[in-house]
Amino acid sequence: MSEHDEVGEMLHHLEHLLPAQRPIEAFVHHNTLHQFEHMPFHEAVVHAARLYNAEPYMPENAFRDAWKVGRILEADVDHVLAGALPDEKVDLGAVALPLRELVKAWMLGLADEDDDDALSWRLEETDELDSYPADLPRRAFERLVSHGPARVVQHALWATTEATVVQRTTRREPRHVRDLLDEGQFRQFTEDVDGYTIRWCAAYLDGGQGYWPMGDKDQGFYHAMLTHLAQPGLHAATWVGPLVGRAQLLLSSETPALTSIRETLERMGVPRARWEDHLRVSLLSLPGWPGMFVQLAARPDLAPTPPPPTRLEDYVAIRLLVEEARARQILGVPKGPLSWEPLKVPPRRSHTWRVFGAARLAGMVAQDVNAKSVATLEALLERYDGFQRRGLWQEAYERRYRIGVLDGILAHHARLEPTTGRSSCQIVTCIDDREESLRRHIEELRPDYETFGAAAFYGVAAYVKRLNTPERRPLCPANLIPEHALHEVPADGDTSPNRTVGKARELAWVGSNTLLRGAVLSLWGWASVFPLASDLLSPGLFSRFMLPTARKPTKLVLEYKGELDRGKRLGFTPDEMAGIVRGNLETMGLVDGFAPLVVFLGHGSHSRNNPHEAAYNCGACAGGRGGVNARALATMANREDVRERLAAAGITVPETTWFIGGYHDTCDDEVELYDLELVPEAMQGRVRELQEVMDAARRLDAHERVRRFRSAALDITPDAALKHVQVRSEDMAQPRPEYNHSGNALCLVGRRAWSRGLFLDRRAFVVSYDPAKDADGKLLERLLVSVGPVGAGINLEYYFSYVDKRKYGSDNKLPHNIASLVGVMDGHQSDLRTGLYWQMVEIHEPVRLLNIIEARPERLEAILASQPGLEQLIANRWILIVAFDASTNEMWFYDRGGFVKHEPETHTIPVVSRSVDWYRGHREHLPPATIEPGRAA
């Protein structure tokens, strides 16, 4: 392999370490660490934590707080330790105790102090060692007390430990040029190199935010930047000066980017064996920007405007040139290779402190400390370090939630009585956890209504162009590239746009970016003060009077008649429509017993001043709003030619059944039903009744979810709650318009019969599936292959954004600014923030998704054997699964490669008459409860 190819292979290998977050308008949830799914979960998160300098779990103190309030029980910790640690004793000389007991003591009380300066100050300036810690195990406390008062015993133990611990100076191989710098030089290097890189990446990737575009973009970032760097006199920073000649040489010789990368590494003297390490550190210094290069190269159709070429080698070549120039200037080595001698790494005092703490929790005193006992403790501390202990805590944390849910479902199901009679209305929503409460309230209001859950792109995979929008966008799962297009057009056929308003806006925008017209327009800036002030001070009032909601009646161009839109077929054939409708009905098990009205609800969200708005929309629609998909499916299902094809396939839809499409806004709880003017006259009374039910249900839905907002009183009324969420959606200053999927922890796959009337606290994805209509298991297999990764993606992005809000999440939303229309960054300059911001996840409990599937264990084992991708997710425990046999009311949890029967801890569940009776007065997460009208616990 040539050196050129070798560098290319390295970049290809490193590419998977970069964030996979797509442009902000197509922001869709995904597993933050998807690239490590081939590894077991705990192994992967620890590996990634060391690679990215991130956190794999909540802090140990957070788990200890959960222990103190009963969120984790002692039985959970003991169960986890028994399964993870061998049953052996630790010999520490004068002290010998079970390994599990020792590690448990460390989990509960071992401080993990990393700041040497803070530690030294505490030891020298406070009475840290003058009293025994309150969390000492009884055995350890009794032994320490028997040797004397804390001041004497602990000071002696610390002095002996510090004198005994072998603090060797280690040597570390430098991985990157920045490792050659001292602390002050490193800060200067990082600030200058990152700042320079950010500015030019933002200019190059700009999708229209700036009026004046960067030039020479058509040949790629490498060529565009060399053209800029080759111009002398344009660079304010003196350290950039040496790059002028280098850029001119590279341009004149037409040196490819990969060759430039190799030459830069050689020029700096980086040892060949460390090239990949060096490239990895360079990429991960600002992972968001090169990550966006990769994503735009893979899916340019998701960019706000057609992007320029985004080759990763272009980015790396420029980044290395800039790093070399800045490092040479700081080190004072203008030419020749740099020194790559191993670095001396001094010992840390915090290591001694951890050994001391471990010895104290074991009940050791100064006389017990010697080279052998310390070596044993050091080996155990390395084996069960902070990451490993937190992994054990995580298992205990998840176990307590799992037992509560499984016991609750079994107890609820045992109370249920069979229902009979035909439903008067069937409502299909997205499987989204935010719809769990809406469905529950509908069914509380009307026991004769039936709800279903399905992925709300509803099989309508298309590029959709809405009326009066310039661009189309794909409304389907992010991994699909549609072959169809759908257009929304005026119902009256008038397609002429309002060019006058558009032209005026364009002139104003262009004028504001020019010297003369910008100066004139700025004089009129005072005119915006009054609407801006009213918008900020009273967003609800402003929205009501300044933003009219009336919309022009529209229709969908649904049937394919030979027209194309950018190479995609405009519409679907009747056969394709029948296939889409059939697929939805069969997957849900809705192939007979049709109600007179069947409603398909898409969903989305709207809020103002919110760059992450797409993250609140439908994940199955690639971060878009799914109303069009629901409307399209209902329209297809009402066609006579489609129903004829369904009947031929064995699905007979009665003539008395009518399908309606609709849209639920999860931020303001607005519910809109489409094409009601097309509903037959005989059905209009049922439609009015449906509208009344939906109106009441959305008020109750708003009432349930506002309890999470500190701005809403706990005794708020449903009408006031609805107004509250409506105002939040229009408030420009609102950092948390809704909490989205926060709290998601559960996914139910099966018949609604066993989860109907079960309060699940808006934490569950609820997927409709009927095993009685799936003899060979193919429907379940198809469902799990799609639902499993989608649910995992949402759940794990919330998990990682919570446990490390800075590295994996986007931290605080308040300093975010849109960058180049492709992402957000902090303030005027930072890396692209690629996770979820803190105000979206702050109430979340970071647990892996628990999937409860109505199927016998042997059926699930057969499906996993035939689906390696899904099997990998489950075997490596990125998601957790439970098999549920509703006929026998038994459950089996998939644990360590096989299904283990769940033995309930309790057979009871709280019973209340209405959902509000259970959640009223609470802001925290709540356990399951049975909603049984007319009954109470």
Q: What is the gyration radius of the CA atoms in the chain, in angstroms?
A: 31
Token output for 447: 């026991």
pLDDT at 937: 47
DSSP collapsed to 3 states, 831-860: CCCCCCEHHHHCCCCCCCCEEEEECCHHHH
Q: What angle do CA 154, 157, 158 make, to 5 degrees?
A: 85
Q: Which ranges of the chain have pLDDT less than 70?
A: 1-4, 113-114, 168-169, 494-538, 540-551, 935-937
Strand ranges of the sheet holding 764-768, from the earlier edge strand across to the other edge: 764-768, 746-750, 850-854, 880-885, 890-895, 898-901
**Which of 761, 747, 707 shows the shortest CA–CA distance to 926?**
761
Return contacts of 885-888, CB within 8 angstroms, 24+ apart: 885/854, 885/855, 885/856, 886/413, 886/750, 886/751, 886/753, 886/754, 886/854
CA distance linking residue 455 with residue 476, whole number of Å:
10
CA distance linking residue 83 with residue 70, whole number of Å:
21
Residue type, 779: L
pLDDT at 495: 59
Q: What angle do CA 620, 621, 624 make, to 5 degrees?
A: 135
pLDDT at 715: 96
CB 879 within 8 A of CB 745: no
Residue 545: how many other CB atoms lie within 10 Å: 10
Token output for 448: 């004769």
Token output for 49: 């934590």
Residue 904: how many other CB atoms lie within 10 Å: 15
For residue 529, what is the enclosing H or E element? Answer: helix 529-537
CA distance linking residue 131 with residue 725, whole number of Å:
51
Residue 518: how many other CB atoms lie within 10 Å: 12
The b-or-e profile of 873-887 (16+ CB within 10 A means b, else e) is: bbebbbbbbbbbebe
pLDDT at 674: 97
Helices 386-415 and 99-109: crossing angle, nearest 10°? 90
User: Helix H segments across 53-149?
Assistant: 60-68, 74-84, 99-109, 116-125, 138-146
DSSP-assigned letter for residue 595: -
Residue 132: how many other CB atoms lie within 10 Å: 17
Token output for 512: 């504001």
Rama region for 393: left / alpha / beta (φ>0; ψ in -120 to 50; rest): alpha
pLDDT digits (tens, 9 = 90+) for 358-416: 999 999 999 999 999 999 999 999 999 999 999 999 999 999 999 999 999 999 999 98
CB 836 within 8 A of CB 801: yes
Q: Could you tell me the sign of the dihedral formed by the alpha carbons of 247, 250, 251, 256, in that order?
A: negative
Residue type, 523: L
DSSP-assigned letter for residue 559: B
